[in-house]
Amino acid sequence: MTEGKEVPEEVDLRLREMVRKLAQGRGVRHALMAIGTGRGDPLWIGAEGAADEEGTPMTPETPFFLASVTKLYIATAVLRLVERGVVALDAPMHHYLPEGLVEGLHRMEGVDRTEEITVRHLLGHASGLPEYLVLAREGERSIFDRVGGDLVTEWGIEEVTSLVRECGRPHHPPRPFDGSRHTIRYSDTNFQLLIAIIEATHGGPLDEAFDALIFRPLGLSKTFFPETDAAREVSPAAAAFWSGDQRLDRAAGPLRSFRDLYGTATDTLRFMAALVYGEVFEDPATAGAMRAHFNPFAFSFDLRPTGPGWPSEYGLGMIRFRMPRIFTGFRQAPTVYGHTGVTGSWLFHVPQLDLTLSGTVDQVMGAPTPYRFVPRLILALREMGVRGGREITWNPEHP
């Protein structure tokens, strides 16, 4: 099922075939693929498969789980608060959070570096803090390993920091932001702490902060957190997501605890366009902070798909990604900026073509999908002459 009449018939047919093949991936029950202009206007949206076990058709309007694409929204909210003067990027995180919550989180080689960790470190995954999702106390399994099985409880920032303090070991010292490049490690712990900072400084729960700082200003009426009034009012119902054959979105406690959003293709395209051109901020130049300094991810031997890694790089809440030629038939795919999620979700801007790209396969087994599929999609769009048409106002290689 598709919508959008802005592309020629031959382009429509090729895109339909691409989303059909995407939906035929291992373990994938449905797929959604959306292409928009740099202004956020949808050019083409396609959906294939069933949104749930009952066979409800997946449509271009069906909301889907954004997973870690939500980090783009978290970073946006933090920068909105920076603009208002209530948060400073280079202030230590303990300025905004209770001492007992963050004390002793980063102990490495006998040295406690917790007080060195700033808001900027958290946004850039440069703190060195370990991934709380894969930590476990003696005799227990990690949250990641229990998702979809016996994990029915809800957790908050206190449990996150307790796990890190008791079971974690930092990967590296907090990295300096001095113009040099350092390897970093992706960790959801960083963004759970950022959520706590947003709630502490904005003075309310995360959904209210997002509504005030992002949703209402941009008119995102179909972007929402699970288990909220907005979630219950949305129509059509949100698509399910899986890990293998295990449906994951029915456990309300874990779903709330991840603090990740649902959204529609149209809403995500609109948000990404407003973000990359700074229209979500009071000063459009604020957007440049997210792409001013990128660090490469260190190689990890952990095969659990908790986040992105090589060959992507990370700014402040934003991935920069270009697939090496060896994986694209030695054709150089353009650089993209945005984020991916563990369920195979993606939201990118392609400056060279001024296009916004959104989509998902809603399958944890499909977490690497954006890195394989999106470069092929971009090359196809470039070959077919599909472009957003907006004048580029920033240099994608030198922000």
pLDDT of residue 228: 86
Confidence of residue 51 (pLDDT cuts 50, 70, 90): very high
Beta-ladder partners of 48 = 31
Please write the tens of the pLDDT for every residue from 198-215.
999 999 999 999 999 999
Please write the tens of the pLDDT for every residue from 333-367.
889 999 999 999 999 999 999 999 999 999 999 99
Is residue 267 within 8 A of residue 279, CB to CB? The reply is no
Confidence of residue 331 (pLDDT cuts 50, 70, 90): confident
Its pTM stands at: 0.94
pLDDT of residue 141: 86
Percent of the chain with pLDDT over 90: 77
From 201, 210, 211, 187, select the one nearest 82 (Cα to Cα). Answer: 201
From 184, 374, 214, 195, select the one nearest 293 (Cα to Cα). Answer: 184
Q: Give me the mean pLDDT over the 208-224 stretch.
A: 97
Beta-ladder partners of 32 = 47, 360
Sequence-separated (6 or more) residues with CB below 8 Å from residue 27:
242, 244, 245, 363, 365, 366
Q: What is d(CA 59, CA 2) in angstroms, rounded to the nearest whole number?
A: 7
- All domains of the chain in start order, with CATH: 2-384 (3.40.710.10)
pLDDT of residue 225: 96
Q: What is d(CA 3, CA 12) in angstroms, rounded to the nearest whole number?
A: 10
CA angle 312, 223, 42 (to 5 degrees): 70
Is residue 323 within 8 A of residue 311, CB to CB? The reply is yes
What is the separation of C-alpha 36 from the centre of its chain, rounded to a whole number of angstroms?
A: 18
Confidence of residue 394 (pLDDT cuts 50, 70, 90): very low
Q: Kindly provide the residue ranges of all beta strands, DSSP E only, lying in the chain, ordered along the sequence.
A: 2-3, 30-37, 42-49, 64-65, 107-108, 111-112, 223-224, 242-243, 246-247, 262-263, 295-296, 313-314, 319-321, 336-340, 346-350, 355-360
pLDDT of residue 104: 96
Q: What is d(CA 359, CA 340) in angstroms, rounded to the nearest whole number?
A: 9
Please write the tens of the pLDDT for every residue from 289-329.
999 999 999 876 665 556 676 678 999 999 999 876 655 66
pLDDT of residue 162: 97
Residue 337 DSSP class:
E
pLDDT surpassing 90 at residue 332: no
Please write the tens of the pLDDT for every residue from 367-385.
999 999 999 999 999 999 9
pLDDT of residue 226: 93
In whole numbers, what is the pLDDT of the chain averaged over residues? Answer: 91
- CA dihedral sign, ordered 376, 379, 385, 391: positive
Please write the tens of the pLDDT for every residue from 158-175.
999 999 999 999 999 999
Contacts within 8 Å (CB) and 24+ apart, 365-370:
365/26, 365/27, 365/242, 365/243, 365/244, 366/25, 366/26, 366/27, 366/28, 367/305, 367/340, 367/341, 367/342, 367/343, 368/305, 368/344, 369/22, 369/25, 369/344, 370/340, 370/344, 370/345, 370/346
pLDDT of residue 398: 42
